[in-house]
Structure 1
Amino acid sequence: MANQKVLKEYLVGSENSYLRSDDNNGKVIMLSGKWGSGKTHFWQDKIATDELKEELKKEEKCYSYVSLYGKSSIEEIENDIFSQVYFDSVGGENLVTKTASTFTKLTKRYGKFSSLLDFSKLAEASEEQKDEFIENSATKRLEKGGIICFDDFERKSKEIDLNDLFGFITQLSLNFECKIVIILNDDVFEGKEKNIFSNVKEKTVSKYLYYKPSIRELFDLIFDDEKYKRLESHKELILKTIEETEELNARIYIQVLDNLLEWIENTNEDGHSDEVLRCLILVNINFILYHTISEKKEEYYIARGFYNHGFDYNSNRLAGISGYENFSNFEEYINFAIANIVSDGKSQSEFRKKYQDFIEENINMFKSEFFINKWDVSRGIYTDTLDKVNNFIETGILIKDENK
C-alpha cells in the first residue's frame, strides 16, 4: 500500500485513528521525511482538513498550526498558539480594536495579537479578570484532545535552544493533554544541535512516522490544485517526464506546473506538443537544480559558457568518452569518465589529478551537463524553440504569441 495512503489511514482514517482517539491525548508524534518531499502539503491537504477541524470545533477542541519560521523565542511561539486558540474559541465574531492601554498587561503574553482580542463582553471586568477570561477561553479548547502542529523546525531561529523548545512542547502535551505533531526534515540538524536533537527527541516523542511518497503520490497531491485542471490533458506526459528524472520535490513540481500553465496560456498550439512541453519541464528542472541553461554544441549539449575551460572539447570533454545514456546516474558516469580519460602528453596520473580537481571546482556544471545530455532535453524540437524555452526559464518572462 502507498505510503501516503497508509499514513492518512493511521492518522485520521477512522474513529479510532491516532488524531481522533482520546487514548493519544498528551502524546507527541513526529512526521519526518526528506526535504521537499511535500510533508506540509500532505499534512494540510490530507490530514488537517476542514472536516477534522469541524469535528474538533463541535467537541469544543482546537487546532493550531505553528510555523517556527521567523520565530526567535519560546514566548513568541506561545503567543502564536494561544492567539490562534483564542480566536478559534470566539469564532471571529464581534472582534473590536481596543486602545493600547486596554491591553498593557497582555502585550507581553500575546504580543502583536493582543490588539485584536475581543473584550466586548467584558467591559465592566477588571484587567485581572480579562486576563483570566482569555486564558480560560484558550486553554479549555486545548485540554484533552486539542491538536497543535509545529512545522518548519529546520527554519527555527538559532536563538531558540533545542532543549528549551522540546521542554516547552513536552509541558504543553502534559499540562493540557493535547496531541502534538512535529513536522521536520529527517536530516535537519547538524553538529552540536544534531546530538541535542537525538537526545531530547527520545524523551519527548511517542511515535515516529516517516513520509516517503512515490513520485506519483507527490505529483498527484500537488496536481490536485484546481488551478492545474487546465493541464489535465497533459498530466501523464508531465508525470512521465518527471519520473524520468527521479526528482522527488514538491517545490520543483509547483514551479514546473506554474511555468507550464503560463506557457500554454501564452503560446499557440505548436508550442503545446509533447516534445515542446517535455523540453520545458526538463530545462526548468535543470535550471532549478543547477542554475544553468543548456546549449547545443555539435552532437552534445553544454551548460552555457562552460566550454572555455582549457581542455580540448573533442578529445577530453567527458561527453566524448561514452554516451550519457549508458549510465544510470551521475556518480557512475563521472567515475567511469575519470578512470578512462586520455592524457594530453603529460603523465596520466598528473593529468587525471588536474582533471579531477577541475571537476570538483565545477561540479554543478558537470551535473547539469550529465542531466541535459542524458535526457536529450530538446529531442524532437527546433533550436529556435529551445532558445525560446531557455529564455523563458532563465528570465521568467514569456512574451505572448501574436497569433495566440
Structure 2
Amino acid sequence: MANVEKLEDKLLKLIDTDESFAIALTGEWGIGKTHFWNNFYERNHTNFKTKKYAYVSLFGIESLDSLKFEIALKSHSTSQKKDNFSFIKKSFQKSLDVIDFSKIEGKGIALSLSKGMISSAVSSMITNTVICIDDIERLSENIDIKDVMGLVNHLSLEKNCKVVVILHEGKADKDFSEYKEKVFDEVLTLDDSLSIIESIVDSSLFTIYEQFYGIIGIKNLRFYQQVDKAFKLFDQAFPSLSQLSKRQILRLILIVRMVYDMPSTLGNDIDFKFFVDSFNSKNISNFRGYKKQNAYKSQDETPNNIVKFNKVNDAIHPFYNYFEISDWGEVIV
C-alpha cells in the first residue's frame, strides 16, 4: 500500500519541477502499472506544473513516424481529465489514411505532400509535455527498440518533455537493459498492488482479499477483477445471502479461479481437471486420508496423484482450512 503512495509522491515532485526527465515505470506482469498511472493522472492532472499531456500505447503502432504522430495527436491540456477533442482527432487521423497524396495536384503542379511530412510537421509541435508511453513489450517487429529509446531521449533532452515509459522489464526486449542507464533518469518499480485491489472490490470483503494476497502472493490485478466480477454475479443472483455466506463464497471463488486461471502458481504439473476431481467431495477423503489408510502397507514411494494433491492442499490450507468442492463450490466450478 505504501509503495503506491510513495510512487505517487515521487512522480508528483518530479512533474512539479521545471526539469525534464525520462522514467521507466516497471513491475511484474499484470500488477496494475497502467491502472496505477491512469488513476494517478486522473487524481492529480490539475496539479501538474506541465500543462500538456499525452498517453500512447505502442500496441498497433507500426513505425516511429506513427508513434510521433500519435503522441502529437493525443496531446491535450492537463486541465482535462480526458481529451475533449479526441473524436475530431481520430476523424482527422482516419482521413489521412484514405488520402492518395500522389494524386493531389494544385494549379497544375504536383504537390510533394505525404502523410509522413504531415506527421513530422505535427509531431514537431511536441514540447513541454508529460508523455506516457505504454506497452513497450508489445512493440511491433517493424520498430527497433533503440529507435523508441532514441525518441524518448530526444523528447526529454531536446523537447523539455517529462516522459514515463511503462513496461514489464522481464518481457520487454532483451536490449532494454542496454538503454536503461543511458536513457532513463530513474527506474521506479510498482511491487505492491494491494491498495489498487482495494479500490476495485467490495470494501466489506476486503479483508478476505487481503488475506489471500498475503498468503498466496498473487498480485495480478486482472485476476482480482475477474474474481470481483464472478462474486458480483452471485451477489446479484442471491441478494439475500448472509455476510458469512458471502465470505465463504468469495474464498471459494478465489481458490477455484486461481487454479483455473493461474495453475502455475501451484506448479506446472497441476491442471484444473485434476484439481476438480481430487478435491470433489466424493473423492477427497481418499486423497486426504491416504496416509492413514496405507499406514500399515509396505510402499516404496507415494503415488504421483497423492503427491500432487498434497502440494495443492498444502498451498491452499493456510488460506482455506480443509478446502472441499461441494455445494457452492460445485456451482462456482
TM value normalised by structure 2: 0.72
Q: Does 1:202 align with 2:150?
A: no
Deviation of the 1:134 alpha carbon: 9.1
Q: Does 1:84 align with 2:59?
A: no
1:144-163 equivalent positions in 2, closer than 5 A: 144=128, 146-163=129-146
- Equivalent position of 1:223 in the other structure: 198
Deviation of the 1:11 alpha carbon: 1.0
- Equivalent position of 1:7 in the other structure: 7
The alignment partner of 1:21 has SS state of coil
Q: Deviations over 1:313-350 (max 9, x none)?
A: 958xxx9999xxxxxxxxxxxxxxxxxx9537xxxxxx
Partner Cα distance (1:273, 1:91) in 2: 41
- The percent identity for this pair of structures is 21
- Equivalent position of 2:35 in the other structure: 41
- Equivalent position of 1:282 in the other structure: 255
Partner Cα distance (1:82, 1:65) in 2: 10
Q: Deviations over 1:154-175 (max 9, x none)?
A: 1112222111221222222233
- Equivalent position of 2:105 in the other structure: none
Partner Cα distance (2:181, 2:39) in 1: 29
- Segment drifting more, 165-174 vs 367-376: 367-376
Is contact 2:30–2:222 with CA below 8 Å preserved after alignment?
Answer: yes
Higher relative contact order (CA 8 A, sep 6+): 2
Relative to 1, partners in 2 of residues 1:320 and 1:72: Cα closer, same or farther, differing over 3 Å?
farther
Relative to 1, partners in 2 of residues 1:208 and 1:366: Cα closer, same or farther, differing over 3 Å?
farther
Deviation of the 1:273 alpha carbon: 4.1
- Equivalent position of 1:188 in the other structure: 171
Q: What amino acid maps onto 1:289 in structure 2?
A: M
1:111-260 equivalent positions in 2, closer than 5 A: 111=97, 140=125, 142-144=126-128, 146-189=129-172, 193-194=173-174, 196-213=175-192, 218-225=193-200, 228=201, 231-260=202-231
Deviation of the 1:366 alpha carbon: 7.3
Q: What amino acid maps onto 2:255 in structure 1?
A: L
Partner Cα distance (2:180, 2:331) in 1: 50
- Equivalent position of 1:30 in the other structure: 24
Partner Cα distance (1:99, 1:66) in 2: 17
Partner Cα distance (1:36, 1:368) in 2: 28
- Equivalent position of 2:235 in the other structure: 264
The alignment partner of 1:279 has SS state of helix
Partner Cα distance (1:301, 1:158) in 2: 49
How many correspondences in the alignment?
Answer: 298
Relative to 1, partners in 2 of residues 1:301 and 1:251: Cα closer, same or farther, differing over 3 Å?
farther
Deviation of the 1:254 alpha carbon: 1.1
Q: What RMSD over aligned residues (CA atoms) do the two structures have, in Å?
A: 4.2
- Segment drifting more, 167-176 vs 269-278: 269-278
For structure 2, list consecutive stretches of 5 or more residues without a partner in the other structure.
100-110, 264-270
The alignment partner of 1:49 has SS state of helix
Partner Cα distance (2:39, 2:308) in 1: 34
Q: What amino acid maps onto 2:153 in structure 1?
A: T
Partner Cα distance (1:96, 1:164) in 2: 25
Q: Deviations over 1:114-149 (max 9, x none)?
A: 9xxxxxxxxxxx999xx9999788755x423x1111
Is contact 1:42–1:221 with CA below 8 Å preserved after alignment?
Answer: yes
- Equivalent position of 2:16 in the other structure: 20
The alignment partner of 1:188 has SS state of coil
Partner Cα distance (2:294, 2:133) in 1: 50
Is contact 1:275–1:380 with CA below 8 Å preserved after alignment?
Answer: no
The alignment partner of 1:18 has SS state of helix
Q: What amino acid maps onto 1:198 in structure 2?
A: S
TM value normalised by structure 1: 0.61
Is contact 2:27–2:169 with CA below 8 Å preserved after alignment?
Answer: yes
- Equivalent position of 2:102 in the other structure: none
